[in-house]
Amino acid sequence: MAASATAAATAGAKPQAALLRHSACKGTIYLSFDTGSQSQAALIADTLNRHKIKATFFLANEKTVNGDYSLDPSWSAYWKARVAEGHAIGSHTFDHDVLAKDGANGAILVKPGFGAHAGKIISLTPAQYCEEIKRVDQRFVELTGKHLDPIWRAPAGRTTPRTLAAAQACGYAHVGWAPAGFSGDELSSTAYPNAVLLQKSLRDLRDGDIFVAHMGIWSRKEAWAPANLEPLISGLEQKGYCFATLREHPDYLSQFKPSSKHP
């Protein structure tokens, strides 16, 4: 489920400031967080701020532990703060539409996690699939006055050439994660305790890897972030790694050029 490269690594140079910042680093890790129950939203923001780290967030309109949804007006201040801090923010599809399969006649079959069709398989045209990605941007503008970055992540990381092409047609590049970057926070905490997941991440992450975790998972009894986020960041810093948003990832540099189709 690694990210599909959308641009050659040689497509442009990093900004000078980024080059200077990373020159003393052993390598760069790209932390990313998908919306979820949002039980860890404040903790994630506080931890990143304390370490002066910029990360990338992927947003869907998911039900939260507060009884609202992550793209409700009640979350406006939270997302405005992340924008002000300089984090990158992309789409995770509005209703968290998990791909089922490509259907007949160019259709895309998905199973929304939320919204009017939650839990049901529905058929979308490529244009409608694109709209599910863009709906997040439209709501984000309402909440923050800012557009999303021109990137998206498919729920569960499930893509096909058809979904990737549909997203690309409306200006979005897909971002997955490195095999070593899977936090495991969706797995059973009994079979995969936090200590085991942390050890694996610290052992296996390498320069350029995209790491993924959620802002809270309903099903995991022992939440990942409170136990693991701080020691993960500290451990990687001790190994000489720096952190950056996906705006600086070599595979996505061209996506952020002014000529991008995205607003």
pLDDT in tens, 182-237: 999 999 999 999 999 999 999 999 999 999 999 999 999 999 999 999 999 999 99
pTM, two decimal places: 0.90
Q: What is the pLDDT of residue 259?
A: 52
Q: Among 5-9, 11-15, 93-97, whose mean pLDDT is lowest?
A: 5-9
Q: Is the pLDDT of residue 89 over 60?
A: yes
- When the pLDDT of each residue in the chain is averaged and rounded to a whole number, the result is 91
**Is residue 5's pLDDT more than 60?**
no
CA distances (Å), 209 to each of 28, 29, 153, 190, 206, in order? Answer: 8, 5, 15, 27, 6
Question: Alpha carbon of 144 to those of 46, 59, 89, 97, 228: distances in Å?
Answer: 20, 13, 12, 23, 30
* pLDDT at 24 (0 to 100): 83
Structure tokens at 132: 């599910």
pLDDT score at 257: 79
Sign of dihedral through CA atoms 138, 255, 112, 41? negative
